Amino acid sequence: DAMVIQNPRYQVTQFGKPVTLSCSQTLNHNVMYWYQQKSSQAPKLLFHYYDKDFNNEADTPDNFQSRRPNTSFCFLDIRSPGLGDAAMYLCATSRDGPGRETQYFGPGTRLLVL
């Protein structure tokens, strides 16, 4: 089945220690998104790639970076995680857009910062 895959499902890191979260997709979609979701809140968009074009949201901290080496994979790098970065991180894809297209989400990676 075509899908969005996130690894790992749970990630524990130490305060200030860089961490990378992974996302892959078998949908061959052009757009990949990274969201941060904190408890009982809506997903908050961090950035997205439209093919190779990177689009950062204005309020995304510099601490968050992303890489998309090919169509299938996208990575979220947190350079110096703080306690406030503990959250669920969701990857999503859409065939085109963004906008006017359904986004399909992966299962998420829950990040714990000690």
Counting contacts by CB under 8 A, is residue 104 touching another protein?
A: yes
Q: Which DSSP letter does residue 72 get?
A: S
Give the E-state strand segments of 1-114 in sequence order.
4-7, 10-13, 19-25, 31-37, 44-50, 53-56, 64-67, 73-78, 87-94, 104-105, 109-113
Q: Considering the complex, state which of residue 29 and residue 48 has its C-beta at the smaller distance from another protein.
A: 48
Pairing of strands 64-67, 19-25: unpaired
Q: Scanning residues 30 to 89, which ones bind another protein (CB under 8 A)?
A: 33, 38-43, 45, 48, 83-84, 86-87
Q: Considering the complex, state which of residue 20 and residue 41 has its C-beta at the smaller distance from another protein.
A: 41
Residue of 22, 27, 72, 105 interacting with another protein (CB under 8 A): 105
Q: Under the rule (CB under 8 A), what is the footprint of another protein? A: 4, 6, 33, 38-43, 45, 48, 83-84, 86-87, 90, 92, 97-100, 102-108, 110, 112-113
